A and B are shown apart, each in its own frame.
Chain A
Amino acid sequence: MAKVTIKIDSQPIEVEENSYVLDAARTLGIDIPTLCHYPYVTPYAACRICSVEARDSKGWSKVVTACNYPVWDGLEICTNNTRVLGARRINLEMLMSRSAPHPVLQRLADQLGIKEPRWGFGDNTCILCGLCVRVCDEVVGAHALTFSERGIFRKVSTPYDQEADDCILCGACAKVCPTGHIVFEDVEQRNVIHKEFGLGPNAAIAVPFRQSIPNIPKIDTAQCIHFTTGGCQVCSKACPKDCINFDDVEKSEEIDVGAIILATGFKPFDATRMKRYGYGRYPNVITSVECEMMNNASGPTGGKVLLQNGEVPRAIGVVHCVGSRDAATNRYCSRVCCMYSLKLAHLVKERTSAEVYNFYIDMRTPGKGYEEFYERLMEEHVHFIRGRVAEISDWALDPSEEGKLTIRVEDTMIGAVRRIPVDMVILSVGLEAQADADEVRRMFNISCGKEGWFLERHPKLAPVSTFTDGVFLAGACQGPKDIPDSVAQAGAAAAEALALVDCGYVLIEPNTAGVDADQCSGCRTCSAICPYSAITILSDTLLAQVNEALCKGCGTCVAACPSGALQQKHFTDEQIMQEIKGVLNYV
Chain B
Amino acid sequence: MSKPKVALYWCSSCGGCEEAVVDLAEGILDVVAAVDIVFWPVALDFKKSDVEAMADGEITLSLINGAIRSSEQEEMVHMLRRKSQLVIAFGSCAHMGGIPGLANLFTRQNVLDSSYHESPSTPNNEHVEPQVEYSANGHRLTLPSLWETVKTLNQVIAVDYYIPGCPPPVNIIKEALGAVLQGKLPEKGSVLAPDVPLCDECKRRESKPEQIKIDSFKRPHLAQSDPEQCLLAQGFICLGPVTRKGCGAVCVEGNMPCTGCMGPTGRVLDYGSKALSAFASLISANADDEIEKAAATIADPTGTFYRYSLPASFLHRAGHVKVTGDK
Q: Could you list which residues of chain A lie within 8 angstroms of chain B, going by C-beta atoms? A: 518-525, 527-529, 537, 542, 556, 559-565, 573, 577
Contact = CB atoms under 8 A, between A and B. Distances in A.
B270 to A, nearest CB: 11
| Nearest 6 Cβ contacts at the A-B interface | A564-B267, A523-B241, A521-B197, A560-B281, A521-B200, A521-B199
Given A525-B241, A525-B282, A562-B241, A519 B212 contact: no
A441 to B, nearest CB: 19
B196 interface: yes
Interface string B89-121: 000000000000000000000000000000000
B282 A537 contact: no
A564 B241 contact: no
Given A562-B278, A563-B264, 20 more contacts: A519-B195, A519-B196, A520-B196, A522-B205, A523-B240, A523-B278, A525-B278, A525-B281, A527-B210, A542-B205, A556-B281, A560-B277, A560-B282, A563-B267, A563-B268, A564-B265, A564-B266, A564-B268, A565-B267, A577-B269
Contacts of A521: 196-200, 205, 240-241, 245
B213 interface: yes
6 contacts: A522-B208, A523-B197, A529-B281, A537-B210, A542-B206, A562-B274
B275 interface: yes
A515 to B, nearest CB: 12
Nearest to B242: A562
Contacts of A529: 281-282
A527 B282 CA distance: 10
B241 to A, nearest CB: 3
Given A519-B195, A542-B205, A563 B242 contact: yes
A550 to B, nearest CB: 16
Nearest to A566: B267
B137 to A, nearest CB: 57
Interface residues of B, number: 31
A544 to B, nearest CB: 11
B125 interface: no
A573 B240 contact: no
A114 to B, nearest CB: 86
A518 B241 contact: no
B135 interface: no
Contacts of A556: 281
Contacts of B278: 523, 525, 560-562
Interface string B23-50: 0000000000000000000000000000
B212 A528 contact: yes
B208 A524 contact: yes
Contacts of A522: 199-200, 205, 208
Interface string B188-216: 00000001111110000110111111000
B282 A528 contact: yes
Nearest to B198: A521
Given A519-B265, A521-B241, A527-B211, A563 B281 contact: no
A555 to B, nearest CB: 12
A528 B200 CA distance: 17
Nearest to A523: B241
Contacts of B198: 521
Interface string B206-247: 101111110000000000000000001000000011100100
Interface string B256-287: 00000000111111000011011001100000
Contacts of B277: 559-560, 562
A248 B13 CA distance: 82
B196 A573 contact: no
Which of A529, A556, A561 has the most chain B CB atoms inside 10 A of its CB? A561
Contacts of B212: 524-525, 528
Nearest to B232: A523
Contacts of A560: 277-278, 281-282
Contacts of B241: 521, 523, 525, 562-563
A563 B206 contact: no
B89 to A, nearest CB: 21
A512 B251 CA distance: 36
Contacts of B245: 521
B197 A563 contact: yes
Nearest to A543: B200
Contacts of A524: 208-210, 212
B72 to A, nearest CB: 35
A562 B267 contact: no
Nearest to B214: A528
A528 B268 contact: no
